[in-house]
Structure 1
């Protein structure tokens, strides 16, 4: 079949309604409910034959006509969001980099959203890693404009190319869709697990929502859940389905059962174990501070009590101690200053001590007195001769005898 004839055939399919939007649900990885979807296109012929995108999208791309399909799909997504009403979930639509040169792109999106009376929150825009890599500056400016207009952008196929880490930090996207290539070894090899854990760590550090594509087996699902994934997209839950089926799934279906493993029974589930450990430390210590005594500097890792409004997040250690002393009751000021000034701590470190601990009463901004334990642990850095401490502040505002 000649390409020109095929292109005409595709256009005719759009006009006759053979070209349809399909939806692949994205399930909340912890609750088993549909929390989003990706809108895809399928060519459903009159005899029921389904033609996949790989068999006709390249023809449209070569002819420069792909945007016709993109706008067709996004309009159908808007209709679907409208039909779902209060059961609506975010539906993302793929847009190629050719749209980055369309000065009316945001205006077109806004018109569609306004015409169907839906919230921008529910319409997402997906771009592929390869599109960003191919025309980085132009695409990044486009993505910035989309985010500024109030739409959420996803980076699709993360990990399928070679420039992943370098561009994700610069692209103002809020969702990272992790490519199925990370699941090729079925999450069974140690190397594969460590690689996937690293991707999730990277994503969480950047405060990105994570979606894993191509999940098909229980082994993949269980390991991905130890990595604290947000959403699962794959045949293990659902293949792409017609709009009517998708609406029924969102409205009528019960949550799917997600079998989880005990992270402490699986010694390879390092990410989940570390996450649980950090959460437990946060629950016990409302204030955690790192300090370089040699360079007279500090930064807070956590501060969730009255110190939050009294002491800057980072600065010189001496200034931080001065603020802590100022908040201490008069009868304990000298003791706290003598124990935790930099010279005293450096002397204690030189003497071989592992920590310095004091209990004191401190006064918050409302005049309330709190009993706290201030505990400094000396830490070593193999790449530096500087002296470091990690400081923990624990509230002791509980009845006497709690620890007896």
Structure 2
């Protein structure tokens, strides 16, 4: 089949200004303001004919010259960031995996960004999920260099292919762009919602910023917001636009109105309800601990500078209790030890108790004394005969106005 366009046609289009960078804004999902953008390439002929990327990008790929367009768009993004001045937002540019073979990539990017005198925090690098999967080791090393140089890397099109969650763990990116394929059912089916919730939970646990692509309906937007998404990219807010229009949007456009969402509405995600509940628990208690009493082990789920105590994230339950006892005033140490040692807890569980509670006085790092509530709740696990607890420690220093 004869190719419609040749490489020379594309190069000519770059030189004559027919090849242009378009920008699709990414909106803060809660505030409705532009918080970022993706730079895309468009071929607009002099007669107004639009040549879709699918018609000319494969030509560049086959010729091994896709980097020409990548750098062309990157330079236009730098110009745009500079023109926005104090209204600048982060603009991300797609770079294909062939750049991973270029040892000078970061140096070239640094020189480009420096030549326009812009802050590199405003320039983002996007790599596609398929590129990571295709050359995992090489691409990961490349991303490490980009991040080390101070640029924010996004994984684009997550979920579009046969992806494995493990590669996201290994790639030191800071943004996960969730592919539009997750929205195919308009977030109306239970399976679709659960799948999307799981992706967000996974991203949040890895402390990744999230961007959802392809948002086109209010139903999608409302459901996505129950999952605590950071940014929305899609036709519901804006299609990709020419540079002049994008500059106006960043400088002048009013925030998009976002409808209020009730996280406990029957159509909202159970995930959001759980998230709100966990946040509430974390606000109330300075230390939350999960422990297997039978196996003498624990893991901290929450640790907020509890009395200045440096308790390790995980370890033996006995060692953790010793640190808590050591913080207790001398006259109460024996009582705390006797109440919360593993034998006492196992006996309390065997006796059918649901919890063990004590309020003791403890020292902080400055020697000041505080009242501290220590609550251990026994947890059932049908899959194990071991005895588990969730332990909550809360500083109970209330001023006089608290009491009525």
Tell me whether 378-387 or 65-74 shows the greater mean CA deviation.
378-387
How far apart, in 2, do the equivalents of 1:310 and 1:64 lie?
54
Task: State how 1:108-147 maps to structure 2 within 5 Å.
Answer: 108-147=108-147
**CA offsets, 1:130-157, max 9 Å, x none?**
1111121111111111111211111111
Q: CA deviation at 1:381?
A: 2.2
How far apart, in 2, do the equivalents of 1:329 and 1:135 lie?
58
Q: Give SS of 1:99's match.
A: helix
Tell me whether 382-391 or 226-235 shows the greater mean CA deviation.
382-391
How far apart, in 1, do the equivalents of 2:117 and 2:103 lie?
23
How far apart, in 2, do the equivalents of 1:4 and 1:54 lie?
12
CA change 1:258–1:188 in 2 (3 A) is same
Pair 1:327 & 2:320 matched: no
Runs in 1 of length 4+ with deviation above 6 angstroms? none
Q: CA deviation at 1:87?
A: 1.2
Partner residue of 2:247? 247
Pair 1:183 & 2:180 matched: no
Q: Give SS of 2:170's match.
A: coil
Partner residue of 2:21? 21
How far apart, in 2, do the equivalents of 1:141 and 1:200 lie?
26
Pair 1:107 & 2:110 matched: no
**CA offsets, 1:12-45, max 9 Å, x none?**
1111011110000000001111110000001111
How far apart, in 2, do the equivalents of 1:401 and 1:3 lie?
80
How far apart, in 1, do the equivalents of 2:401 and 2:372 lie?
16
Q: Give SS of 1:362's match.
A: strand
Q: CA deviation at 1:61?
A: 1.1
**CA offsets, 1:286-320, max 9 Å, x none?**
11111111121222111224345342222221121
Pair 1:360 & 2:360 matched: yes
How far apart, in 1, do the equivalents of 2:72 and 2:6 lie?
19
Q: CA deviation at 1:382?
A: 2.4
How far apart, in 1, do the equivalents of 2:95 and 2:74 lie?
9
Q: CA deviation at 1:268?
A: 4.2
How far apart, in 2, do the equivalents of 1:306 and 1:366 lie?
13
Task: State how 1:280-319 maps to structure 2 within 5 Å.
Answer: 280-319=280-319
**CA offsets, 1:196-216, max 9 Å, x none?**
001101111111110000000
CA change 1:152–1:83 in 2 (3 A) is same
**CA offsets, 1:236-277, max 9 Å, x none?**
000001111111111111111111321112254112111111
Task: State how 1:3-402 maps to structure 2 within 5 Å.
Answer: 3=3, 6-399=6-399, 402=402
How far apart, in 1, do the equivalents of 2:207 and 2:156 lie?
16
How far apart, in 2, do the equivalents of 1:48 and 1:394 lie?
67
How far apart, in 2, do the equivalents of 1:30 and 1:280 lie?
20
Q: CA deviation at 1:401?
A: 8.4
Q: Is the 8 A contact 1:377 1:391 kept in 2?
A: yes
Tell me the TM-score normalised to structure 1 length.
0.96
How far apart, in 2, do the equivalents of 1:394 and 1:304 lie?
10
Q: Give SS of 1:117's match.
A: coil
Q: CA deviation at 1:74?
A: 0.2
Any unmatched runs of 5+ in structure 2?
none
Tell me whether 230-239 or 311-320 shows the greater mean CA deviation.
311-320
Q: Is the 8 A contact 1:329 1:361 kept in 2?
A: yes
CA change 1:43–1:5 in 2 (3 A) is closer
Q: Is the 8 A contact 1:311 1:323 kept in 2?
A: yes
Any unmatched runs of 5+ in structure 1?
none
Q: CA deviation at 1:4?
A: 8.0
Q: Is the 8 A contact 1:158 1:164 kept in 2?
A: no
Q: CA deviation at 1:402?
A: 4.2
How far apart, in 2, do the equivalents of 1:310 and 1:268 lie?
39
CA change 1:102–1:289 in 2 (3 A) is same
How far apart, in 2, do the equivalents of 1:338 and 1:267 lie?
48
**CA offsets, 1:324-367, max 9 Å, x none?**
11111122112111101111111111111110001111111112
Q: Is the 8 A contact 2:27 2:232 kept in 1?
A: yes
